[in-house]
Structure 1
């Protein structure tokens, strides 16, 4: 049957013969190159390849294309030249990690070893945090959380509740790890690049266990372009995971695991690393986190809220966006600057305001510096104010 399928062009005859065999075994597809060379691309299923291997002498004699067929189990689409060497019949049995199917198809995609490689990159920098208890009796350590070494000097990134006494807000831990050799440090990534559905893994030491790895996806970054204070994932988080890293598939820390919802499965939260980096910088610069304070209660405005306020009070200013000030704390920087309840902030530090987050981000490192603010009041009266943020007092 095969000899009758031959034509003067070897490549065409081989293709015709292969398509005929497909009727018996299936799983083959062929495409010819548009160039003048005798190249063809073939996709072959494993059963068909086994048949071809068992009849190799017939194909070598009839088709004179010994290098045409080669496929791993399941088949793939590839291109071979008529001058290529003959592949071994077991060539598709490649070691794990060497097969092209092991690699992700694009950056951020999930491959066979993606999670393992990400965990291997960040895992050595993950530590268990414990405190010593038993002042008047036997001393023992209690595991209270996880952390991540973020520089070779031994600086550990973790959650506040892992190193502070909630009753007195007193620090129970201070200093760095002492080591004669550089310590493994995790690489910090960017949480702003995350998208809903991106794969992440949570590393830590829950329930006093070591080297625990769970995986999941980012499920919430906020709506309408507004970034959330926390990243929501479905990674399994348990007691002791707090302070451990949330890592992307590149092995970069993109968040710090902080809590889970006890009444729900697969609902955990992490602080975005972009926010954490700002806090780390303040610690290194000031030895503490400096929070600005104005003394304002603020409310984001949108089209629906503005319409509701206009319906209740026709004198409400004509704005399309901004931040409403319903309460001004007496004696606060905002009170001294002349803010009034009912003001709508439309510009802050010379920039248009669309939400509270823009005001907070602008004030972040502006403690003690005068800031120009434009507000609108009833009947569209515009007023320019100057406010000087103060450092927040946690006991206030």
Structure 2
């Protein structure tokens, strides 16, 4: 091998924790010196052995489907002991921490320290016919010093209809070991978001809500929670997709978008925060693909904030219903539709209406299959997401919609949204 390397004129130098590659030709008329810094030998790695925890997830979670997507909460028969909390886990952050745009060795640790004290363990003591049967484990985050906790609905509520009912006595354990009894304040099963309230005589640590609209694929994030009942667990990864559609995951009811990450999250992480490098919550961890690693999904915090506003104003989430099946148009779809039908409207963008539900507000307003929505409530629109944002919680309020029909005919329609009945 050394003879071959000499003939090729290739020299390779490697050292522990560092390597240098130097290339030259025998006939090159110059000299070069190479300096290699060799660090001190690292101590032998310490291996930690521990028993494997075997947790069972509920078979009755409605989001479980053929794709293998399951909720991230667990059942555990034996109680979880309160662990001692060290100073390192107290949440103190070094004042000399690096700014978020400079990723250093302490960036992830600082982000975890900022949000860590506000992350809680949620345990639901369950019994059937008076017989104790263990408890469900999940996570949550204190978002207000008054004791308001943000979590997933399936952690604290049984999925019976759209209103649901509390699973049982809620025990909330803080990172410092304090335990409180919690009460479900609001829960929306279709978005899988809920708020729980605990009462404390002293102010509680709170986490800061960030924004998910500025996230990009590749951004670093961390997940904090209680996977497999292991409290105060931090894992790191990146954002894999910022707008994973619910239809991609096999959910065909209410259109939603999720953050997809490769953070290691497991049963018990559900309801816990997805956090950016500034220590701000940018998502609520909800589910993962059971048969795959690195496929986890969270509800974007921007969507969560809208749900919290609904909770504050109405005590529930109000969803307007028009009775329209809508599809975002792009150049490829428009070209295909024009090829099939020459009379298809000449548009470069808009939202196609392929179907109108009978006896719906849209049918009464005069919508027809094939209409292309180009303006909604006085604003030009290109995507269904924009229509949903404009609608907000407008129920019973007339909305003007401009559509383009065959032969490029412009029609203005007035539709009065009704509240959606998600039980149907």
What is the TM-score of this pair, normalised by structure 2? 0.67
1:166 to 159, 178, 182: 159
Hey, what does 1:79 align to over in structure 2? none
1:235 lines up with 2:263 in the alignment: yes
Hey, what does 1:259 align to over in structure 2? 287
The Cα offsets for residues 262-298 of structure 1, whole Å up to 9 and x where unpaired, read as 1211111111111111101110111001111110001
Shift of the alpha carbon at 1:165? Answer: 1.1
CA contact (8 A) 1:125 1:150 kept: yes
The Cα offsets for residues 128-181 of structure 1, whole Å up to 9 and x where unpaired, read as 222221244453651332111110111111112112212445230524102111
Hey, what does 1:321 align to over in structure 2? 349
Q: Distance in 1 between matches of 2:354 and 2:327?
A: 7
Hey, what does 1:114 align to over in structure 2? 107
Shift of the alpha carbon at 1:26? Answer: 5.4
Q: Distance in 1 between matches of 2:33 and 2:412?
A: 84
Hey, what does 1:311 align to over in structure 2? 339
Q: Per the alignment, in what secondary structure is the counterpart of residue 423 of structure 2?
A: coil
Q: Per the alignment, in what secondary structure is the counterpart of residue 298 of structure 2?
A: strand
Hey, what does 2:231 align to over in structure 1? 210
Higher strand share: 2
Larger relative contact order (C-alpha < 8 A, sep ≥ 6)? 2
**Alignment of structure 1 residues 294-373 onto 2, 5 Å:** 294-373=322-401
1:250 to 258, 261, 278: 278
Rg larger in structure: 1
The Cα offsets for residues 292-330 of structure 1, whole Å up to 9 and x where unpaired, read as 111000111111111111111111111111111111111
CA contact (8 A) 1:367 1:390 kept: yes
The Cα offsets for residues 101-126 of structure 1, whole Å up to 9 and x where unpaired, read as x954x533321111111111111111
1:130 lines up with 2:123 in the alignment: yes
Higher helix share: 1
Q: Distance in 2 between matches of 1:26 and 1:333?
A: 76
Q: Per the alignment, in what secondary structure is the counterpart of residue 120 of structure 1?
A: helix
Q: Distance in 2 between matches of 1:135 and 1:196?
A: 45
Hey, what does 2:211 align to over in structure 1? 190
With over 3 angstroms needed to count, the CA separation of the structure-2 counterparts of 1:341 and 1:180, relative to structure 1, is same
1:154 lines up with 2:182 in the alignment: no
Q: Per the alignment, in what secondary structure is the counterpart of residue 362 of structure 1?
A: helix
CA contact (8 A) 1:143 1:207 kept: no
Shift of the alpha carbon at 1:186? Answer: 0.6
Which is further off, 286-295 or 170-179? 170-179
The Cα offsets for residues 166-219 of structure 1, whole Å up to 9 and x where unpaired, read as 244523052410211111111001111222211110001111110011000112
Q: Distance in 2 between matches of 1:186 and 1:365?
A: 27
What is the TM-score of this pair, normalised by structure 1? 0.71
Which is further off, 271-280 or 134-143? 134-143
Moved over 4 A (4+): 23-27
Q: Per the alignment, in what secondary structure is the counterpart of residue 341 of structure 1?
A: coil
Q: Distance in 2 between matches of 1:114 and 1:46?
A: 26
Unpaired runs of 5+ residues, structure 1, are: 1-22, 28-44, 48-96
1:393 lines up with 2:414 in the alignment: no
Hey, what does 2:19 align to over in structure 1? none
1:274 to 299, 302, 318: 302
The Cα offsets for residues 61-93 of structure 1, whole Å up to 9 and x where unpaired, read as xxxxxxxxxxxxxxxxxxxxxxxxxxxxxxxxx
The Cα offsets for residues 39-70 of structure 1, whole Å up to 9 and x where unpaired, read as xxxxxx899xxxxxxxxxxxxxxxxxxxxxxx
Q: Per the alignment, in what secondary structure is the counterpart of residue 144 of structure 2?
A: coil
**Alignment of structure 1 residues 10-25 onto 2, 5 Å:** none
1:139 lines up with 2:132 in the alignment: yes
CA contact (8 A) 1:128 1:143 kept: no
CA contact (8 A) 1:108 1:250 kept: no
